[in-house]
Amino acid sequence: MGRDLSYAGVMGRRNDIMLKAVGIDYRNYSTGVLAFDYEALMREAGDIAEIRRIQRETHVGDTPLWELGNITRLVRALAPPGKGARVFLKDEAANPSGSFKARRAALSVYHAARKGYPGVSAATSGNYGAAVASQAAMRSVGCIIIQEVFDSRGIGQPEIVEKGRACEAYGAEVVQLTVGPELFYVFLVTLEETGYFNASLYTPYSVAGIETLGYELAEQMVAREGRPPDVVVVTHAGGGNVTGTARGLRKAGATAAQVVGVSVDLTGLHMASDRDFNRKSFTTGHTGFGIPFATWPDRADVPRNAARPLRYLDRLVLVTQGEVFYVTELLAQLEGMERGPAGNTSLAAAIVLAQELDRDQIVVVQETEYTGAGKHPWAQLTFSRRNGIAVERGDPADNAPGRRIVLPREPGQLRVKEFPLDNVRRSYLRNALNQAGDRRLLPEDYRFLADDTRQDEDRVRSLLKEVAASEAN
């Protein structure tokens, strides 16, 4: 009798499929109703010296750290007297596939090859697909990338189409789908049929691969300036970028560096909506990923997500689409560096944050990404107009996701919007209670929730009571 390929049948086998496709038995790390031994899981990836060695085999890492002198001068012209920190940028576009995602892919593909998998597969519409395809080519293993590209009219976002082209250039097979629940279904069927490794964004391999970015950044800054940075600004989407960078900073001794996550504000747009899919002009680094994954990381395609951003965020701020597009042009025209919008999400915030800090302090934007025909701001803005979205110059405060993109008239209009982390923690704990259901939480669970929200246990118990009371009402 053949396998049941119905949606219900495949979803019913998903845990077994994932177990075979990742080679990690997550049950071994469970310590409570919700809790698991996070640090033990992360040790699956090896220590940082080993990870750096693996990445260097395929030319990943050791990317340059640049001081943005012209942008620093601009910051100081806008800042109050005595304010205006120096702004540095880690140029991850120097990696083989053009983004920091090469660090994640390098480790995943290495372990896939070491464990004897015939190939790797990933469900991604972003830079990660190109990174996996590039690393698979270097390791001589097969590669299948599955993308959500089109809405129901068959119209694809230019940035996603561009990334699909990059995957194919590296020799990967690319499966392109319309937006909807079939992405995970097709991914599971692909893993089951091929026996390929699940190069998920959320395994310990993928997240530990980014630790070298934080470690390297701190190492370079100490060598250059004699001390670690004061603030590291990280584009926040699924949480791996924040998690890996922060862990790497800590391992390098940069424990006092403040980690600020930045997302593009796409409030009101639903990422799984056919209507909204092409009304967003960003495919990553936005609240549609950043908030859901922060409030419940284990919504991922593996049983336990190694990306746990609330453990590491000191601050979370939002910027608008128009501000990111504006700063993308600003970087090109002031510093002669044309880079894509994902990293420039952080740069948009860094220009504002640097104005709050003293002149002797240092802000580092921790990554850039390559740009290309479909990723360029003009391609994105043209696509927005075709989808009925107004593109205007004016005050970015008038930005309306899915309806209006407002480009600033001048750099003094750039600003950030605080997203209170306590609100995220409450949402996380609400999701934790829902996951626990009728099961009584154990002491191990309270310790885990305290670590996962970066609070003490008494504060977690208090918040849980507040959440439970609000749910009862």
In this structure, the number of other CB atoms found within 10 A of the CB of residue 271 comes to 16
- Sheet harboring 119-123: ordered strands across? 173-178, 142-150, 119-123, 197-198
Q: What is the CA radius of gyration of the chain?
A: 21
* pLDDT at residue number 120: 98
Strand partners, 36: 30
C-alpha 198: how far from its chain's center? 18
* pLDDT at residue number 473: 67
Does residue 83 contact residue 355 with C-beta atoms inside 8 Å?
Answer: yes
C-alpha 441: how far from its chain's center? 30
C-alpha 90: how far from its chain's center? 16
* pLDDT at residue number 1: 52
Cα–Cα distance for residue pair 470/464, rounded to 1 Å: 10
Cα–Cα distance for residue pair 144/157, rounded to 1 Å: 20
Cα–Cα distance for residue pair 409/411, rounded to 1 Å: 7
Which residue stretches of 355-398 are H helix? 377-386
What residues of the chain score a pLDDT lower than 70? Answer: 1, 473
Does residue 295 contact residue 427 with C-beta atoms inside 8 Å?
Answer: yes
